[in-house]
Amino acid sequence: MGEHERLERNATMPWTDESMRSNRQTEDGDLAEMLGELRILLPTAQLLSAFLIAVPFAPGFNDLVGAEKGVFLATFLLSITSLVLLSAPAVQHRLLRPLANRASFKTLATRQIVLGASAMALALVLATQLVLSAVLGHLVGNIAAAGIALFAGGVWWMVPQGWRRRGIL
């Protein structure tokens, strides 16, 4: 097929090899970008989980009352949940290669990342409450945890939504 025929075919058939290749390159870039974003989130989840794993073995852990142990357990479970959810897209990508449906994979991976980030945000809020309650008292711990919840919710969710509404990004 000559160059002229190929160009004519491409103009009338948007699903040609060239357009599919272009879409795939865009999707590959989006996927690489998404996996790069995970490289930012995962260390936070890993570090938080690592510290929380050590807490029960520290002196004084047995002195915690029931409610404080409940906050610790919730924090620990949320941290581990975020770690699993945030690592899932990378593992799934490796197991499913080559991807048959990149758009569906990106949708699923995005949902897992958002759920993982939500679990991590809650774990950070509870960790703030736990630490500051132990150091400065329950009132300060609760106020600081509420502040961190508002801050994380604002920066991670409300700011991007505001940008989208205003057409900034």
Question: What are the C-alpha distances in Å from 155 to residues 56, 60, 149?
Answer: 32, 35, 10
As a whole number of angstroms, the distance between CA 155 and CA 161 comes to: 10
Domain boundaries, position 97: 3-166
**Chain-wide mean pLDDT for the chain?**
84
Q: Which of 34-43, 89-98, 149-158, 160-169 has the highest mean pLDDT?
A: 149-158
pTM: 0.76
Task: Give the count of domains, the chain.
Answer: 1
The model's pLDDT over 17-66, given as tens digits with 9 standing for 90+, comes to 554 455 555 555 677 888 788 888 888 899 999 999 999 898 888 888 88
Cα distance between residue 66 and residue 71, in whole Å: 9
What integer is the mean pLDDT of 77-91? 94
